[in-house]
Each structure stands twice: as C-alpha cells, then as structure tokens.
Amino acid sequence: MASFDEIIKLLKEPPSIKDLALISKAYKFAEEAHKDQKRFSGEPYFLHLTETAKILAEIGKGPITISAGLLHDSIEDANVLPETIKKEFGEEILFLVEGVTKLGKLRYRGVERYVESLRKLFVAMSQDLRVLIIKLSDRLHNMRTLQYVRKEKQKRIAQETLEIYAPLAYRLGIRKLNRELEDLAFPYVYPEEYEKVKELLKKKHRETIGHLEKLRKSIIKGLTKAGIRDIRTDYRVKGLYSLYQKLLRKNWDIDSVYDLLAVRVIVPTMEDCYRVLGTIHSIWRPLPGRIKDYIAFPKPNGYRSIHTTIFTGDGSIMEIQIRSEEMHKEAEYGVVSHFGYKEKLDLKKITNDSMSWIKQFLPLLSFGERLNKENSTIVSGDVPSWLRELAKIESGKSQHEEFIKEIKADFFKTRIFIFTPKGDVVDLPSDSSPIDFAYAIHSDIGNHLSGAKVNSKLVSLDTKLKNGDIVEIVTKDSAKPTAKWLDLAKTTMAKKHIKTALGDKIKN
C-alpha cells in the first residue's frame, strides 16, 4: 500500500494506533468500493481518493477529515449506502461525506451574478468547514488531471475553479490551495494571456533571480551583524495568475511589478519582525508608500506579514516580506492552521482580530457540539476589520477594487439564503420575513402577497425566515399591503414598495 504510507508520512503529528486503524479502514473500503472504476486518464479511480487524502494530510488535516476524503465519492459514484458509511465509520464521517456529495450537485451556469450567490451558497450549505476543505482538495486533484477531461468540459471546470473554488480558498486564507488552483485553471480560461504572462515572467525571472540571491545573503549578513540571528530566509515567486491580475492593473508593464519575486524573512516573534524591518531600513532605502504593515492591519482573510520594497543598491528593486513562524503557517494554511491536528478549533489561538470572521462560522464549525454563547459572540466594541481596511485605503483605485472584491466575497455574517420552490437563491438580511422575500422576487408579487408557505407549511407573515428555507409565496389579485407590513419588513426595498403602495391607496 504505497500510497497509504504516503498519506501517513504527510500527517503533521504522529498518528495514534486508533488513527492509523481508521485511515487504513477507510483506505481499504474506498479501494474496494471503486475497484471497477477508472478515471479519464485510464488510471484506477481509487487514485483520485488517495490523492485527495494526501492533499488533506499535507495541509494539516487529521484522521477524520482524511478518512472522509478517502470516502468522499463512495455514495455518489460507487453507490455505497449512507447507512453503510454510518455503520462502518460513524455519524461524523457520514456527515462530512454527505456534505461533499451535496456540494457536488450544485452546477455552475456561467452568469456572474449567479456565481456570487453560488459562492455564498456554497458556504451556507457546507455546514462544516471541513466539508469545504475536502471539496477544495477534491477539486485540486481534478484540476491536476484536467488534461484528460474532454476539451469542451475543460474550460467550464477551469472557469468554475477560478470563480468559485480559488476565491473560497483565498477567503479561508489557504493560500497554498488558492495559488495552485488559480495557476492550474489559468491556461484553460485565458490561454493567450497565459502564454504572454509566462513569456514575460521567464525573461524577468532570469534577470531578477541573481539579484535576489545576492540580496538574500546581504540580508542574513546585515541582520546577523545587528544581533538578530534566529532567522530563516526563503523566497517566493508570484503565481502566474496573480501576476496576470497585477499586470492588468499596471498596463502590462512588468517593470512596475516589484513583488514578482520576494525575499521572506521568518523570525520567532512579532517583536522580531519590527526589529528586522528597522534593521533592513537602516541598511537599504525603502520605496516610499510601499511599506505595508499587515501585522497591525491584517488583511480581511487574516493574512499577517510586513511587506517593504527596497532599492537594493545595484539598480534593482525588491520586495521583502517579514513574518513570524506562526504568521507564516497561517498565511499558507489559513483557517486550517487553527483547527490543529485534533480537528478542534482552538479559539484561544485566534488572537488576531481580523481572524474574528472565522467566529461567524462557529455555529457551523464543529460537529455535534454547540459552543457556548460567550465564545460565539463577536465583541461588538471591536472595530470590524473591513472598516479598518476602509480607513487605510489610499487613493489607489486598484486597492479600492480589491477591497470591494473582498467585501463582496465577505461571508454571510448577516445574510441568509432562501430558496424559491424552483431552487433559485434569494439573498436576504437575517430575520427577513416572507414580505421581504416576496418583494425581492418582484414588486408585483409583494404587492399582491396574501400568504406564504415555508418548507411547504403555511406560516404567518411575521415569520422570521431561516437560512436554507424554501419559501413559496401565495398571491391574490385583491391582496394589498397594509401599514403593519412596514413593521414586518426588514429590507429597504420592501419598505419602499410598501410605502409607495400605501401612498397610492390614500390617494385613491
């Protein structure tokens, strides 16, 4: 079982005998369930499951999620009964496998507006973050093997990856998955642009890599001289898709992209980060306006690091990223790094305010366990991170656009997702009533609303809708809004229509 050993080797903590037994059981079960199936590549289908499990182990997930990863296609593609999974592996693993199966049923229709609600819906539907993480790993392996898929399907899958899965990985702070998903999808969605970016990067890379190696050595020397010895350096090359996005904003001028390659300095503590910054600035002149303190002001997805761009002295300009080991782990693995191997989210570890959005997920985070109220409330006196982001936006338009994108992608803290009987999604504020829903569909429907069914049961109009409710509106020609509706409506749009309708009535 070569791939079994590979999975085990990737585990971040030595597994207990129980963990080993669980993963091994899931491994054998999946191997048997999919034994007659093949992938488009001609390889055994089972390989897809071991590869998915390897990705999960690599990003630090534990035995339960890995086992669910091995079993994630068994219900949908191998006709295994849910009861069998429950009997063999218990309720928690069944819950994860069924979650992934449900997500797989959502289909992409290619309309931008739809993508946005789909993205939100994805999160709303995945009642457990682990479901999303398994789905992201599943998608990553499918992207790695996309060349074997029929040509007509390739672009659709890649586009879906670029518009839904990669942004989700980014929002969860799992840069490692986000980067690879983007770069794998890029050539299928924008083939010409991909070639252009690749050429530009190749040329520039040759130029820059020499400078970079020299600078890295000078940095180590300079910091050592200043008494900062406990450092680790590294460098990163910007992802192709991320470079493409930047080039679009810079009119394809690669010379004005300063973070094509960046030197990373990783130190033990936050205080060390500022000492390193001070030392570097005392040796090299920084570019004005390019110092970004994402430690004091983390990005909305939780990213922390200090970025500065310096004149290296030999005619080149280079970005340096300074962070602690903990920040580095967070930057690569995001929300996953807070679960830990034991798969319990450690709240005390979320000291960073900007990660507090994770707490929005709390009711959804852990299976079969309700967290106490104190833990799940976001301290309201705290300035929300997106507000702080807003305050620090400079005049640059591109930064603004990025911010708007973040906000658009911001998860459903105060939103609920309601379905029409046909399965369309309507996005409303929490505590919305059937009146809001009716007006969100069409003002005529609102104006002639006479009753509502929630999940097939007739309800009164003051019912507070809940995430995932299926709502059917009953209309009558003779029905009209009343003044009381104004108190029941939550959305501005509904209130506006009701006021107009009431005004008309008075006039008549």
Catalytic residues, by residue number, are 76-77
Q: Kindly write out the interface string for residues 126-145 of this chain, putting x where it contacts Mn ion by CB under 5 A and - elsewhere.
A: ------------x-------
Span of 33-41, 71-79, 286-294, 320-328 interacting with Mn ion by CB under 5 A: 71-79
Site for Mn ion contains 183 (CB under 5 A): no
- Shortest reach from residue 51's CB to Mn ion, in Å: 10
- Shortest reach from residue 154's CB to Mn ion, in Å: 17
Residue in 19, 51, 73, 406 binding Mn ion, rule: CB under 5 A: 73
- Shortest reach from residue 55's CB to Mn ion, in Å: 11
Residue 450 and residue 474 in contact, taking contact as beta carbons nearer than 8 Å: yes
Encoded tokens for 55? 């990705």
The helix or strand, by DSSP H or E, that contains position 139, with its residue range, turns out to be: helix 129-144
Strand partners of residue 425: 419
Residue 295 and residue 327 in contact, taking contact as beta carbons nearer than 8 Å: yes
Of 73 and 332, CB closest to Mn ion:
73
In 3D space, the residue among 206, 225, 349 whose CA is nearest the CA of residue 276 turns out to be 225
Span of 67-75, 220-228, 259-267, 440-448 interacting with Mn ion by CB under 5 A: 67-75
- CA angle in degrees (0–180, nearest 5) for 96-101-104: 130
Cα separation, 9 vs 58, whole angstroms: 9
Amino acid at 15: P
Of 56 and 355, CB closest to Mn ion:
56
Residues 255-274 that bind Mn ion (CB under 5 A): none
Q: Which residues, in sequence order, are CB contacts of 444 under 8 Å at separation 6+?
A: none
Strand partners of residue 237: 261
The radius of gyration of the chain from alpha carbons, rounded to an integer in Å, stands at 26
Of 69 and 187, CB closest to Mn ion:
69
Encoded tokens for 310? 């310096």
What SS3 string covers 162-201?
HHHHHHHHHHCCCHHHHHHHHHHHHHHHCHHHHHHHHHHH
Of 19 and 73, CB closest to Mn ion:
73
- CA angle in degrees (0–180, nearest 5) for 364-367-369: 90
Span of 68-76, 78-86, 152-160, 270-278 interacting with Mn ion by CB under 5 A: 68-76
- Shortest reach from residue 346's CB to Mn ion, in Å: 29
Taking CB positions, which residue lies at the least distance from Mn ion? Answer: 138
- Shortest reach from residue 107's CB to Mn ion, in Å: 15
Of 134 and 494, CB closest to Mn ion:
134
Q: Is 483 left (phi over 0), alpha (psi -120 to 50) or beta?
A: alpha
- Shortest reach from residue 317's CB to Mn ion, in Å: 44
Amino acid at 94: L
The helix or strand, by DSSP H or E, that contains position 77, with its residue range, turns out to be: helix 74-78
Of 161 and 432, CB closest to Mn ion:
161
Residue 190 and residue 182 in contact, taking contact as beta carbons nearer than 8 Å: no
Of 126 and 324, CB closest to Mn ion:
126
DSSP state of 305: -
- Shortest reach from residue 32's CB to Mn ion, in Å: 17
Residue 8 and residue 17 in contact, taking contact as beta carbons nearer than 8 Å: no
Size of the site for Mn ion (CB under 5 A): 2
Interface ranges with Mn ion (CB under 5 A): 73, 138
